[in-house]
Amino acid sequence: MQITVVGAANVDIITKSKEKIVSGDSNPSEVKLSAGGVGRNIASALAKHGAEVRLITAVGSDTLGALLKDSCDEIGINTESWIIKDNISTGVYLAALENDGELFAAFNAMNAAESINISEIAKYKAHISYADLLVLDLNLTEKILNFCLELRGEGAVMIDVVSAPKVHRIADMLDRVDILKLNRLEAEEITGITLDTKERVKQACFSLISKGVGRVFITLGMAGVCACEGKNVIFVPALPVAVKDVTGAGDSFAAGVALSLNKDLRTQAQQGITFAAEHLRQMMS
């Protein structure tokens, strides 16, 4: 299965508080630096599970960009389509975690992914058009998202929403999305529905399906996942696992869904949850 991922690659700087975070004060913490970015994380999980995956992204011609590319080469991600620029800095994602591993706050500088223009990405249109699956993350601009979707024709497309502030980038293109993966906050933002009950989660799914999305997966943290296709909506519980760091778990979920592209709705959701739980267990080791 050939998969092309177009999205962000960046350096993650993760700080985890040793005690409950106190706002407005200095909190003793542990700090970790690693390769990240939604597009890169998804590509990494896919490669580790044997997929033939190409990542199209942009980084700066700086030390962080070189480190990212080397790390992707090492795990088998095809990096021949990377756009390396002299006039930008490689993206950075900064997250502050509570002592229980839950996200307290996050910040990102994704100018690299957002700097990609049509002429740069058009060089790789064959890889976008003819892959078995195209995965896009919403760190890309609306113009690039639309360009990629136009190139696909009838090919399957999966969108990872990334964050609530960016969800509206895809709002007018939902009828061209086969698989939409988003979390509770992102689903609330794009549908305007507060997801405080199962019934309202269902309403949000049906709202997105009515706009043309093929399958919807809303991750709900410890409550598991709601998956929807047509009039069929299911809830799949999360697997029991201790949480040290939630960073990247959603991206691993997306990879699990991608690798079960031709499976039924429940199998896709279950494989996504399995991949996410596997990622969390690895973070504990």
Residues in the chain: 285
How far, in Å, are 49, 84, 102, 123 from residue 94 at the CA level? Answer: 27, 22, 14, 31
Res 245 pLDDT > 60:
no
Which residue ranges make up each domain of the chain?
2-284
pLDDT value at 280 more than 80: no
Q: Between the CA of residue 229 and those of 98, 123, 158, 212, what are the distances in Å?
A: 35, 34, 14, 10
CATH of domain 2-284: 3.40.1190.20
Q: Is the pLDDT of residue 242 over 70?
A: no
Q: Comparing 63-77, 91-105, 194-208, 245-259, which segment has the lowest mean pLDDT?
A: 245-259
User: How sure is the predictor about 283, in pLDDT bands with cuts at 50, 70 and 90?
Assistant: low
- Global confidence as pTM: 0.89
Residues 276/253, Cβ–Cβ less than 8 Å: yes
pLDDT at 125: 95
User: Rounded to the nearest 5 degrees, what angle is found at the Cα of 34, between the Cα atoms of 32 and 40?
Assistant: 145
Q: pLDDT at position 247, please?
A: 59
Write the pLDDT tens digit of every residue in 59-92: 999 999 999 999 999 999 999 999 999 989 999 9
In this structure, the strands spanning 133-137 and 156-160 are parallel
Q: Nearest-CA neighbor of 238 among 196, 188, 202, 275? A: 275
Residue spans of alpha helices (H) in 28-79: 38-48, 63-74
pLDDT in tens, 148-157: 999 997 889 9
So what's the pLDDT on residue 143? Answer: 97
CA distance 59 to 172: 28
Torsion of CA 169, 171, 172, 174, to 10 degrees: 110
Q: How confident is the model at residue 18 (pLDDT cuts 50, 70, 90)?
A: very high
Q: Please check whether residue 108 is in contact with residue 10, taking contact to mean a CB–CB distance below 8 angstroms.
A: yes
Q: How many helices and strands, by DSSP H and E, does the chain display?
A: 10, 14
Mean pLDDT of the chain: 92
DSSP per-residue letters across 95-146:
EEE-TTS-EEEEEEE-HHHHT--HHHHHTTHHHHHHSSEEEEETTS-HHHHH
Give the chain's radius of gyration (CA, Å): 18
Tell me, what's the pLDDT at 108? Answer: 80
273 Cα distance to chain centroid = 14
The DSSP call for residue 173 is -
Q: Which residues of 83-106 are buried (b: 16+ CB within 10 A; e: fewer)?
A: bbbeebbbbbbebbbbbebeebee
Q: What is the mean predicted confidence (pLDDT) over 123-131?
A: 96
Using the predicted structure, report yes or no on whether residue 21 has a pLDDT greater than 60: yes
The helix/strand/coil state of 225 is strand
